[in-house]
Amino acid sequence: MAKANNTEAVATTRLDKWLWAARFYKTRAIAKQMIDGGKVFYNGQRSKSGKAVAIGDRIIVRQGYEEKQVIVVALADKRRDATFAQSLYQETPESIATREKNSLARKQGILLNPASDTKPDKKQRRQIRHLKERI
């Protein structure tokens, strides 16, 4: 029996394997931890790492400040190059717009509130503590 190399040969794939093959996470163990930790939503709900992924399903992946909403386009259970990984899913336009808006807001927040070059001295620490206690 010969092995087929195309993605149509894979009937079902576990959620953690698919996330690993799509290069959202570096290892399957990390993918499993993120699923169990509630960072991944499958069709709007939390799920287990062994959940079978189907074409057309919606997956929400949180990575740091970013949240990506993707639709499964193809299935794979083996990790290959990045161009192949990007062909496994399609990010929704709403997700792209939200990520760009949040990125711009973070950049503007850093520019409006720059970090100090030095640590606060004793007097400044007292003033900060007084301000926090007053509120």
- The domain limits of the chain are 7-100
Q: What CA–CA distance (Å, rounded) separates 38 from 14?
A: 16
| Secondary structure (3-state) at 12 | coil
For the stretch 78-121, pLDDT in tens is 999 999 999 999 999 999 999 999 899 888 887 677 777 889 99
How far, in Å, CA of 116 to CA of 114, rounded?
Answer: 7
The pTM (predicted TM-score) of the whole model is 0.74
Angle at 83 between CA 90 and CA 46, to 5 degrees: 40
pLDDT digits (tens, 9 = 90+) for 7-63: 455 678 999 999 999 999 999 999 999 999 999 999 999 999 999 999 999 999 998
Fold that domain 7-100 belongs to in CATH: 3.10.290
Phi, psi of 46 (to 5 degrees): -70, 150
